[in-house]
Amino acid sequence: MKIALLGYGKMGKTIERLAEERGHEIVYRIKGNIDNFDLSNIDVAIDFSIPDAAFKNITTCFEQQVPVISGTTGWLERYEEAADLCRKYNAAFIYASNFSLGVNLFFELNRQLSKLMRSFPEYKVAIEEIHHTQKLDAPSGTAITLAEQILENSEKKGWKLDGTDENEIPVTAKRIENVPGTHVVSYDSPVDTIKIEHIAHSRDGFALGAIIAAEWLQNKKGVYSMKDVLF
């Protein structure tokens, strides 16, 4: 594939290394305005940029019929608008708050566990995420996905960062030097605690998942998720 990297930071550079190992070509490493680039020969754009740039990056690609993989977090209030534009331009799009296989398995575990715990209100649910100190958004996109999955099977009204209201899922975000991404979902009762945890050892899992998604999206039209790619 001929790839345009939208964002050439920690993730862009990891994707470059793994994509080249798989025989793909990085044509552009874009760190600023996408309008200055001719995308006509690009097979896929992979966006790991910043929250303020993601929507413009993604929709510019749709207008030019370039399939898009996006992992940028912190812009999701405009996701439905982006998905509508993808359909309008007959383009192709996959967004995931986390592209790693391990986290997508963890998502399925979280769904199952939340169904099981629905009948046991004495267990209080909480989410914790830990990331490196350069991260711009909090809580992480992955923590928000975990909270949304739990809400599908719960009486809680929503989630809140550092929340203390019993009716909301409390989410804690910690920032520690060099941590690629750790997520914990815990259920605490007066007598014990149940925990599930995913620890990323590097960014390779996120990057490989994004490349696999890009390969899968070739010659497809429409809006898909990592569930379509992996399961």
Q: Is-contact 196 106, C-beta < 8 A?
A: yes
Residue 165 Cβ vs ligand LZUJQKHR, minimum distance, rounded to whole Å: 23
HSE-CB at 156 with a 13 A cutoff on CA atoms is 27
71 is an annotated ligand-binding site residue = yes
Residue 137 Cβ vs ligand LZUJQKHR, minimum distance, rounded to whole Å: 6
Q: Is-contact 118 154, C-beta < 8 A?
A: yes
- Residue 135 is a catalytic residue: yes
Under 8 Å CB-to-CB from 53, ≥6 apart: which residues? 6, 7, 72
Backbone angles phi, psi at 187, to 5 degrees: -125, 115
Please give the single-letter amino acid code of residue 66: V
Under 8 Å CB-to-CB from 127, ≥6 apart: which residues? 139, 143, 146, 147, 150, 159, 169, 170, 171, 172, 183, 184, 185, 186
Choose the catalytic residue: 131, 156, 183, 198. Answer: 131
Pick from 19, 27, 30, 212 the residue near ligand NAI by CB under 6 A.
Answer: 30
Residue 73 Cβ vs ligand LZUJQKHR, minimum distance, rounded to whole Å: 4
Q: Which does 131 bind (CB under 5 to 8 A by kind): ligand NAI, ligand LZUJQKHR, none?
A: ligand LZUJQKHR
142 is an annotated ligand-binding site residue = yes
| Binding letters toward ligand NAI, positions 34-53, x by CB under 6 A | --------------xxx--x
Q: Is-contact 96 68, C-beta < 8 A?
A: no
Q: Which does 224 bind (CB under 5 to 8 A by kind): ligand NAI, ligand LZUJQKHR, none?
A: none
Q: Which does 7 bind (CB under 5 to 8 A by kind): ligand NAI, ligand LZUJQKHR, none?
A: ligand NAI
Pick from 12, 67, 141, 209 the residue near ligand LZUJQKHR by CB under 6 A.
Answer: 141
Residue 106 interacts with ligand NAI (CB under 6 A)?
no
Ranges within 84-103 binding ligand LZUJQKHR (CB under 6 A) = 97-98
Local structure of residue 34 (DSSP, 8 states): G
Q: Which residues are part of the catalytic machinery?
A: 131, 135
